[in-house]
Amino acid sequence: MKHLSIIVPCYNEQEVIRESYRRTVLVMNALDIPSQIIYINDGSHDNTRQILNEIADNDSRVKVLHFSRNFGHQPAVAAGINKCNTDLAVIMDADLQDPPELIPQILELQERENANVVYCVRRSREGDNFFKRITAKIFYRMMNSMSEVKFPLDTGDFRLIDRKIMNQFNQFHERSKYIRGLISWIGFKQVPFYYRHENRVAGKTKYPLNKLFQLAAIAFIYFSNKPLRLAINLGFTAVIVGIVLAAWFTLGKIYGFSNAEPGWTAIITVITFFGGVQLLTLGILGHYIGVLFDETKARPEYIIDEERNFQ
Ligand code: UDP
Ligand code: MG
């Protein structure tokens, strides 16, 4: 018989964990397959740790990983997948924006379609403000035009994955993981499930703008080398423009159709233009070199401080 794990990353979620656990357990009790929860406490500095330990002490189906510090949402989910020993896993947020009540339908769809991945697509983005909706829309569409794998639109990490996917995922050694991208990249049979993204039940978002941009940068750099090619194209265009300009000024001088006194404007324009091109190119190169640097260091992606109920 298949077993299910529910992987839930938690960072400073003291306001929502009990309610999240309560609703998840209700769903688990009604399932006809055995299930467990894996909570990853991503270095919270509120009472998340105590609350999770208390829950784990009273329910052996609850496993908890405590990170030694805040490593971020993606490493937390990665740890949950690495530690998962069941045939199926659902990745879910702690804040109930992804309702656990949908799990039975997701499982049913997986079974019916014999899918390896059921990714949940947000039909509405309840609880996300206008800015987040717009940036998310732009991001997903840009991503798709730049990357060689196609990513489903309006999809977060809320999804069901099976053992085949998890085994592949566990082989990845890249340090910064854009998990939904990697799962799309793995392939096999992936089917969508449409749902309504709810409001956070309590607490504030743990994804401020800078973290969102970091995630977007990882997604771009790890899944597309078009920015690199863009640098080459820009450089090439600049050279052509330079040649044309030089030719124009020279001919202008010979035949007298351009201002005989080129003066400052032209020089300054050209210097600024080329300076800009060089800086931009260097910046893009620098970004990739930074990623290479991180990867060659091959540091572990996360460090576990303590494990509960893992035997
Ligand atoms: N999270 C985490 N580490 C972080 C940030 C977030 O484990 O550094 C968890 C958080 O507790 C939640 C999930 O990741 O369960 C998604 O975060 P959040 O709901 O704040 O993001 P939003 O839904 O606002 O994009
Ligand atoms: Mg949320």
21 lies in the same domain as 114:
yes
In this structure, which residue's CA is closest to atom 11 in ligand 1?
A: 10
Neighbours of 41 (CB within 10 A): 27
Residue 265 has pLDDT above 70, yes or no: no
Write down the mean pLDDT value for the chain. Answer: 87
177 lies in the same domain as 284:
no
Identify which of 10, 21, 93, 125 to mutate to test ligand 1's pocket (most ligand atoms within 8 A of the CB): 93
In this structure, which residue's CA is closest to atom 16 in ligand 1?
A: 93
Q: Give the distance (Å) from ligand 2 centre to CA of residue 100.
A: 13
- pLDDT at site 214: 86
Would the CB of 172 count as within 6 Å of ligand 1? no
56 lies in the same domain as 45:
yes
Give the Cα separation of 247 and 131 in Å (integer): 47
Give the Cα separation of 241 and 98 in Å (integer): 52
Would the CB of 95 count as within 6 Å of ligand 1? yes
Per-residue exposure over 74-101, b if at least 16 CB sit within 10 Å of its own CB, e if not = bbbbbbbbebbebebbbbbbbbbbbbbe
Would the CB of 158 count as within 6 Å of ligand 1? no
Would the CB of 13 count as within 6 Å of ligand 1? yes
Neighbours of 42 (CB within 10 A): 27
122 lies in the same domain as 267:
no
Q: Give the distance (Å) from ligand 2 centre to CA of residue 193.
A: 18
132 lies in the same domain as 246:
no
Look up residue 57 and give its amino acid: D
275 lies in the same domain as 135:
no
143 lies in the same domain as 89:
yes
Q: Give the distance (Å) from ligand 2 centre to CA of residue 157.
A: 11
Q: What is the band of 159 on the pLDDT scale with cuts at 50, 70, 90? A: very high
Over residues 125-155, the pLDDT tens digits come to 666 778 878 888 888 888 888 777 788 888 8
**Cβ pair 90, 2 in contact under 8 A:** no
Would the CB of 37 count as within 6 Å of ligand 1? no
Q: Give the distance (Å) from ligand 2 centre to CA of residue 215.
A: 15
- pLDDT at site 205: 86
For 164, the token pair is 């085949």
What is the residue range of 272's domain? 226-297
69 lies in the same domain as 209:
yes
Q: Give the distance (Å) from ligand 1 centre to CA of residue 11.
A: 6
204 lies in the same domain as 271:
no
74 lies in the same domain as 106:
yes
How many domains in the chain? Answer: 2
The CATH number that applies at residue 32 is 3.90.550.10
160 lies in the same domain as 28:
yes
215 lies in the same domain as 251:
no
* 178-187, 253-262, 291-300: least confident range: 253-262
Mean per-residue pLDDT for 270-276?
Answer: 76
pTM (two decimals): 0.81
